[in-house]
Each structure stands twice: as C-alpha cells, then as structure tokens.
C-alpha cells in the first residue's frame, strides 16, 4: 500500500507543479474537490472538520451517530454536530488500524466494535491485554447506557487488519468482520497452522448474547467455528446486504495487489493467505491447497482491482431517490485515492453487470483506464463509510489518512433536489 501512496504523491506533485507553470491555480484548487461524473447527482458537504470518522449509523430520520476512531461516539441531530460526545470510551486503543471502528443500530440496541486496552475477562487476569470487543448499548435519546459484552476477540499480533465493521442483517442476526492481524492459522488457509482463532472471519451471531446463530454454516465445527459465516479474509472495511436477495457482499483489501468485492454465501472461504483476487491470477495455487472446513467453499471475487487501493466500504443503495438506474445498485469507496465507484449488478444479482464491457468483462480493473469505467466520483480524499440514509440519499464519511484522519460528512443527492446549493453547481 505504501508504494501506491508514494506513487500517487509523486503524480500529484508533478501535476500540481506542472499546472503552476501553465496556469496559476487558486490555493483552493491545490486540494482535490469531490466531484461526480453524473450531472444528475450533486454533492452536499453536511459537516466539515470531523476527527478520524470511521463509521456511522442512523437512529431515525433526524439523528445520526458516528464514531471517532480514538473513542468518541458523536451525535448529529437535524444536521448539527452536538458538541458533547454521547459516549467517551476511555479504554479505546487506537494505534495504527485499531480503534473505535464499527457501529450498527437495529431499532433496539446500538452495537459498537472497538479495540479495548486492559480488557477484563470474567475470572481471568488480563492486565494490559488488548482485545477487540463488541458491546451492545441502550440508546436513551441522549446517551448510550447499559453496555453488554457480546464478543471478545483477538487484536494481536498485528495492529493492522482488525476489520471492525458490523451490521444487523435482514435475518436479524449480527454480522461482524474481523481481519487477520497477520496470523497464519487454518483460517488463513495454512493447513498445518493453529486451529480457528476468530481472525480473518465474518462472524454471524445472535445479537442478544453473541452466541452462534443456530443455522450457521459451520455449526458442526465446534464452539469457535460455529460462529463463523466466512473465513480466509485478509481484511475488510465494509459489507452490506443486497436488498433484493438479502445476500451479503463484502469488500476486501489486498496487500499491494487485488482489492476485492465478494458475494459472500454461507461458508465462503475467500482464499487468503494463499489467494488474493481471482485464483487464476495466483500462480500454482489450486482450491485443493486451501483449508477446507467442512461446509466451506472457495469463490473468486465478483470484482477486483488489480492494484490495491484500500477499497473500504460497499453499499447497496436501497432507495429510488436517484432514479431507477441507481436503485439497489452498488457503491464502493477507497481510502488511498478517494474514488467513489458505482456498479450495477447483473440480472441474476450474482455479480457485476459488466459482461458487455470489453475491458471489464474479466471483472478485473487492470489499469487506471479500466477503473474509469466504474468511477462515479473523485476527490473524496479517502472514504471510510457509505450508507443509505432514511431520506434515500447516500451518506459518505471521508477520512484523510495523510492528514490525521481529518474528515467530513457528505451527502449525495439528486441535482434536482431543493437541497442543492445553487452556488455550488457548475
Ligand atoms: Ca478472495
Ligand atoms: Ca444498504
Ligand atoms: Ca480487465
Ligand atoms: Ca456502510
């Protein structure tokens, strides 16, 4: 990933320097401005100056909770950021990719995923231990109360690849993605590696007590594997459910090659650390080289980026606000180039509707040129979260990795909307 960043930096510097020779730019133009390729849509910046925003959840039509990576849960009420956090979690450890990472709300409880230092386990001394934890809370209208520990998960040895997004599915079960934290066990497809250890997985659990959902794919696999829905995942910053089929799709990150979007059927093995991207692009590896937990299956991604860009969130727009062309379509974002991607699924909703695209019908973006075929917007700095709002519009949290996680809450709305500020239209 650092290579990508460095290259982008050089290109950007060269472009800016060259521009200054030809045309003097205003100081504002040195910084990328978010823009969309489709004039029927417009961008509205709702709130600027956010601090490392990682995830958001809508409580109702007027209230949004979002997370600051360092440990604050903040409330936006009627479009106004409230000055005091609704919850400050002192014990959040936010080194590298750890922190307060995921939030979900199911109309009953609020669920948070965070890295906790000095985590206590009942009856066990864990002084100084760092763990990833999922808690549920009650929302009383102004604060989060009654924390209940649902999941106690590893956070070591890697301080990167923690995963952290979580969501309640259409089946009312709680889904949680956990990264591989640089482990090399059976869940990372090392056949002789340590047994399942809650890393590199999507968990599917009962939201009341964190126990395995009764019809999980590996219920026969014992206490640990019983909670898994999928494994072989290097890291993920987002997943969503197709509103038409109820099926889970995730976004996954490669090291320097192959970010992925996957259709995650129950028992999915994504292939890491043997495979990233389509298996045919990984020399000498076959499905028989992977760890096959009974009930599992390997599948290629439905789309990949040949060069890793840190693709983060994926969101089905379950709304008709942007017209039928975007309804139930797939948005994705990345953290390094701040691009917003858009895909229409195929008619069967089993993959991307790119069969007739001469460059992308292999379902791999092999170059920047090919990427333009699925690029809807640019200049978002970095994207950490995408969600459909109760108003049917698309909400985006931006996150500038080069600038201490400085971010904004943006909203994409139809250009015809009365909310569009005419002065910001071109
Ligand atoms: Ca994969
Ligand atoms: Ca959605
Ligand atoms: Ca291609
Ligand atoms: Ca999301």
pLDDT at 43: 97
Distance (Å) from CA 367 to ligand 2 centroid: 28
Residue 12's pLDDT band (cuts 50, 70, 90): very low
pLDDT at 425: 46
Ligand at minimal distance from the CA of 276 is 1
CA distances from 182 to 161, 255, 269, 377 (A): 7, 11, 17, 32
Q: Give me the chain's average pLDDT, please.
A: 91
Which pair of structure tokens corresponds to residue 148? 């209940």
Helix or strand run (H / E) with residue 64: strand 63-68
Which residues does residue 411 pair with via DSSP β-bridges, in sequence order? 44, 395
Helices (H), 173-298: 222-225
Opening angle at CA 246, ends 241 and 249, nearest 5: 35
Distance (Å) from CA 227 to ligand 1 centroid: 20
pLDDT at 220: 81
Distance (Å) from CA 371 to ligand 3 centroid: 9
Average pLDDT over residues 362-367: 98
For residue range 80-90, list pLDDT tens digits in order. Answer: 999 999 999 99
Ligand at minimal distance from the CA of 312 is 4
For residue range 201-233, list pLDDT tens digits in order. Answer: 999 999 999 999 999 999 887 778 999 999 999
For residue range 30-79, list pLDDT tens digits in order. Answer: 456 999 999 999 999 999 999 999 999 999 999 999 999 999 999 999 99
Average pLDDT over residues 197-202: 98
Helix or strand run (H / E) with residue 98: none
Question: 210: helix, coil or strand?
Answer: coil
Distance (Å) from CA 242 to ligand 2 centroid: 7
For residue range 267-313, list pLDDT tens digits in order. Answer: 999 999 999 999 999 989 999 999 999 999 999 999 999 999 999 99
Distance (Å) from CA 359 to ligand 3 centroid: 5
Distance (Å) from CA 130 to ligand 2 centroid: 32
Q: What's the rounded Cα separation, in Å, for the pair 1 and 336?
A: 8
pLDDT at 121: 63
Backbone angles phi and psi of 167, in degrees to 5: -160, 145
Distance (Å) from CA 330 to ligand 2 centroid: 9
Residue 116's pLDDT band (cuts 50, 70, 90): very high
Distance (Å) from CA 358 to ligand 3 centroid: 8
Q: Dihedral sign for Cα 413, 252, 96, 3, please.
A: negative
Distance (Å) from CA 209 to ligand 4 centroid: 23
Distance (Å) from CA 360 to ligand 3 centroid: 4
Distance (Å) from CA 369 to ligand 4 centroid: 27
pLDDT at 123: 58
8 A C-beta contact, residue 371 and residue 365: yes
Distance (Å) from CA 330 to ligand 4 centroid: 11
8 A C-beta contact, residue 103 and residue 159: no
Helix or strand run (H / E) with residue 216: none
Residue 126's pLDDT band (cuts 50, 70, 90): low
**Rg of the chain over CA atoms, in angstroms?**
21
Q: What percent of the chain has pLDDT over 70?
A: 89
Give the lowest-confidence range in 19-23, 198-202, 350-354, 412-416: 19-23
Question: Is the whole model's pTM more than 0.75, yes or no?
Answer: yes
Average pLDDT over residues 321-345: 98
Ligand at minimal distance from the CA of 273 is 1
The full DSSP string for 303-371 is EEEEE---EEEEEE---STT-TTTTT-EEEEESSS-PEEEEPBPTTSSSBS-TT-TTTTTSEE-SHHHH
Ion ligand 1 — residues with CB < 5 Å = 270-271
Distance (Å) from CA 388 to ligand 2 centroid: 6
Sheet holding 144-153, edge to edge: 100-105, 110-117, 130-139, 144-153
Q: Are strands 41-51 and 35-36 parallel, antiparallel or unpaired?
A: unpaired
Torsion of CA 102, 310, 34, 402, to 10 degrees: 90
Distance (Å) from CA 328 to ligand 2 centroid: 8
């Amino acid at each position: 990933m650092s290579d990508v960043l460095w290259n982008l930096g050089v290109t950007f510097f060269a472009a800016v320097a060259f521009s200054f020779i030809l045309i003097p730019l205003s100081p504002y133009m040195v910084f990328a401005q978010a823009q969309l390729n489709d004039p029927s849509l417009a961008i509205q910046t709702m709130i600027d100056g956010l601090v490392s925003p990682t995830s958001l959840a809508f409580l109702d039509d007027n209230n949004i909770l979002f997370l600051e990576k360092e440990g604050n849960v903040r409330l936006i009420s009627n479009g106004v950021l409230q000055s005091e956090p609704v919850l400050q979690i002192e014990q959040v450890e936010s080194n590298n990719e750890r922190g307060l990472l995921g939030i979900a709300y199911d109309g009953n409880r609020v669920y948070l995923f965070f890295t906790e230092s000095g985590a206590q386990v009942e009856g066990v001394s864990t002084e100084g231990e760092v763990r990833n934890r999922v808690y549920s809370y009650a929302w009383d209208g102004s604060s989060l109360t009654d924390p209940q520990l649902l999941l106690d998960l590893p956070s070591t040895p890697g301080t990167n690849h923690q995963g952290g997004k979580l969501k309640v599915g259409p089946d009312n079960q709680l889904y949680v993605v956990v990264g591989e934290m640089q482990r090399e066990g059976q869940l990372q497809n090392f056949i002789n590696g340590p047994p399942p250890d809650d890393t590199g997985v999507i968990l599917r659990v009962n939201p009341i007590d964190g126990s395995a959902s009764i019809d999980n794919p590996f219920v026969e696999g014992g206490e640990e594997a019983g909670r898994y829905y999928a494994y072989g995942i290097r890291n993920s910053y987002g997943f969503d459910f197709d509103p038409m089929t109820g099926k889970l799709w995730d976004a996954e990150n490669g090291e320097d090659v192959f970010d992925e979007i996957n259709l995650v059927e129950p028992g999915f093995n994504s292939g890491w650390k043997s495979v990233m991207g389509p298996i045919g692009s990984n020399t000498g590896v076959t499905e028989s080289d992977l760890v096959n937990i009974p009930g599992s299956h390997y599948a290629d991604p439905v789309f990949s980026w040949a060069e890793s860009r840190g693709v983060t969130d994926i969101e089905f727009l379950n709304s008709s606000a942007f017209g039928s062309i975007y309804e139930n379509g797939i948005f994705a974002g990345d953290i390094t180039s701040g691009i917003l991607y858009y895909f229409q699924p195929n008619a069967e909703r089993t993959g991307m509707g790119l069969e007739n695209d001469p460059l992308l019908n292999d379902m791999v973006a092999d170059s920047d040129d090919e990427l333009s075929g699925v690029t809807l917007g640019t200049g978002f700095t970095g994207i950490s979260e995408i969600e459909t709002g109760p108003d049917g519009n698309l909400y985006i949290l931006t996150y500038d990795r080069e600038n201490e996680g400085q971010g904004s809450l943006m909203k994409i709305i139809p250009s015809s909307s009365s909310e569009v500020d005419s002065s910001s239209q071109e």
